[in-house]
Each structure stands twice: as structure tokens, then as C-alpha cells.
Amino acid sequence: MRIAWERHGAGPPLLLIHGLGYARWGWEPVVDPLARSFDVLLFDNRGIGESDAPPGPYTAAQLAADAVQVLDEAEVERAHVLGTSLGGMVAQEVALSYPRRVDKLALACTTPGGPRAYPMPARTVALMTNGATLRDFVENALVPDPRAELVERILAHRLATAQPAEAWAAQAAAGAAFDVYEQLGSIAAPALVLHGDGDVVVDPRNGELLARLLPQASLEVFPGTGHLFFWQQPERFVRVVEEFLL
């Protein structure tokens, strides 16, 4: 499996894992600031960007193995792991399946999955079933504050790394089947859960749920922000993450 990755900065290793439909450019607002303190590793999940896109469906376990492959290729034995959305599910899987590779764990706008987690909000379900445009999805990820400049910047990136429908569906299957609710109590790594309180893609109550289920976890809420809250408040995001990891 070819997984495209890059690194920036110097310091303790920090692995970034992005979500459904987003290549490694999705960390754009926070990479350089984080690289002032960390050896930042970011990559394209299988199925998007410059990584291979084998036939799906994919699983979170496969995506976690890809993430560990990046650590191996970078010759990093142990790293902080930060995942967002589907990438946050993958980060949980890394912490469960490869605990010796994880120092601290940061989970952004994600869920433990399964029937006991809070389901996807109706607004986003409607977009997925009613033939919404890519612009609609970008704006939805920025609700309640879809500023035009952010919409245009993210949309341009998404168009440049547009996935075939089958690759998107293969990634989406990993999220749909994910359920580690019962296993989270075994994660020993200290964890930070971050969530925008206006998120209409992943119900913000899942952030509270994760913080309760993880043995060593704290919750940081970003008022007035949505699913891509680290695009909306990158300075605060970097500050909070640094305070936790350093």
C-alpha cells in the first residue's frame, strides 16, 4: 500500500489523521503553527489524494494500519496522535490496536461509533440522500459560521483532490461500521477531546460521551464553531493542543 505522507518541523512526533473526503491539505491552517513545536507527520488516507485507492469497503483497522505504516516509514517508534472526524475514529483504533505507538491522543469532532453513540444529525443525513453539491457539504461542515473565504478555499482543495464515488464510499464504510464503545475503557493514553458546539456532521454530544468513556480524558468545546472548527479557530486549536501535548 502506497500511503503519501510528509513531515514538517521538529520536536516530539505528532501524527495527524484526517477524515472522510479530505486529503492531508485538510490540516492547512494548523500545520505550520504546530510544526513550531512538533515533528508533524500528515498523510493521505487510502482512497484519496496521492495514496493508493484499492477497492473497498475499507475498515478503521485498515486505515489504522496505514497510519502506523507512516510512523514506520518515518522511523518514528512512538507519537502523539491527533485525528479528526473519521480520522478520529482511526486514531482510536490506533490507540487500541497499537498502544505502544501512542503517547497522547487527541480526538477532534468524532465519535465512538455504534448504536449507543449519538447518530449523525438529520441535516447532514438529508444532504447525503438528496443529491447535495460539494459546495453544500463544505458549507455544512462550517455551520454555524460558513464564511465565504473558508468555503472557497476548502472547496478549491476538495475539487483538486476529488475522489471517485467508489473511493468515497469505501472510506465512508469504515466510519459506518466503526464501534469501539465497549473498548474505550482500555485506552491507557491520556486523551483530549475537542468539538465545535455547532457541529451538524458529528453530534457534539459525542464529544461528551468520549470524554466520559476514556479513562484519562478532558473535553474542550469551541463555541460558535462547526465540524471544521480548527479552520474557524486555528489559533485557539493550536494553543489548546500544545498545552495538552507538551
Cell match 455551520: residue? 143
Label each residue of 136-175 as H, E or C: HHHHHHHCCCCCHHHHHHHHHHHHHCCCCHHHHHHHHHHH
d(CA 33, CA 37): 8
Evaluate if residue 131 carries a pLDDT over 90: no
**List of residues 6+ apart from 25 with CB closer than 8 A:** 49, 157, 161
| Residue in the structure block whose three cell numbers are 483532490 | 161
DSSP element (H, E) containing 176: helix 165-176
Average pLDDT of the segment spanning 61-83: 98
pLDDT in tens, 166-218: 999 999 999 999 999 999 999 999 999 999 999 999 999 999 999 999 999 99
Q: What percent of the chain has pLDDT over 90?
A: 98
C-alpha closest to that of 19 among 102, 80, 101, 89 = 89
pLDDT at 39 over 90: yes
- φ, ψ of residue 85 in degrees (nearest 5): 60, -125
Question: Hey, which bits of 9-129 come out as E strands?
Answer: 13-17, 39-43, 79-84, 102-108
> Over the stretch 21-38, which tens digit does the pLDDT of each residue have?
999 999 999 999 999 999
- Give residue 43's domain range: 5-245
Q: What is the mean pLDDT of the chain?
A: 98
pLDDT score of 245: 98
Indicate the pairing of strand 13-17 with strand 39-43: parallel
CA 191 to chain CA centroid, Å, is 14
pTM of the model: 0.98
Give residue 97's pLDDT.
98
Please tell me the predicted confidence (pLDDT) of residue 4. Answer: 98
CATH number of the domain bearing residue 96: 3.40.50.1820
Q: How far apart are CA 92 and CA 23, in angstroms?
A: 19
Q: What is the pLDDT of residue 237?
A: 98
**Overall domain count for the chain:** 1
